[in-house]
Amino acid sequence: MTKIYFEDIAVGDTTTSHSRTVTKEEIIDFARKYDPQSFHIDEEAAKKSIYGGLIASGWHTASNLMRLLVDNATNNRAGLGSPGFDDLRWVRPVRPGDSLRYESTVVETRKSASRPEMGIVRADVNLLNQNDEIVLSLKSIGMVKTRPI
């Protein structure tokens, strides 16, 4: 597969991923390990909570976004990783059976001043459910190789 280099990326470029369905078993398995709050791990307690039923840990939802990014973009790009991201927001709960996809839009590209072999790509990323409602948003920061001469 042809790799996508920094020069191939422009402000305004948009990407839509495939969808990934979140199961009850995954929600509970993740939360038992990393976020054992009752509304993430106990269906009965969750019914009595303000959420009215089991919801996914926000970190599970973010991890599902990462899986979609790896499957749809990361492995196609001449990427050099990411230093982090800004402004993550959990906009709406994710429930068992929800089907998630992301839409991303490049908002900034700039060559690195200190490292001419790479550039920085910033994108606004929204994770949506099957009803086209945003469930999570963040501003991503990616380091991408410049095209070899």
Q: What distance lies between CA 57 and its chain's CA centroid?
A: 14
Query: Taking CB under 8 A as the rule, does residue 34 contact its own copies?
Result: yes
Query: Could you tell me the smallest distance in angstroms from the CB atom of residue 68 to its own copies?
Result: 10
Query: Taking CB under 8 A as the rule, does residue 90 contact its own copies?
Result: yes
Among 21, 37, 105, 130, contact with its own copies (rule: CB under 8 A):
37
Among 64, 104, 126, 129, contact with its own copies (rule: CB under 8 A):
64
What is the signed CA dihedral for 46, 51, 53, 56, rounded to 10 degrees?
A: -90
Place of tokens 């991408």: 144
Give the residue with the Cβ less far from its own copies, 45 or 70: 70
Among 18, 24, 67, 147, contact with its own copies (rule: CB under 8 A):
67
| Residue 17 burial by Cβ neighbours in a 10 Å radius (0-12, 13-18, 19+) | buried
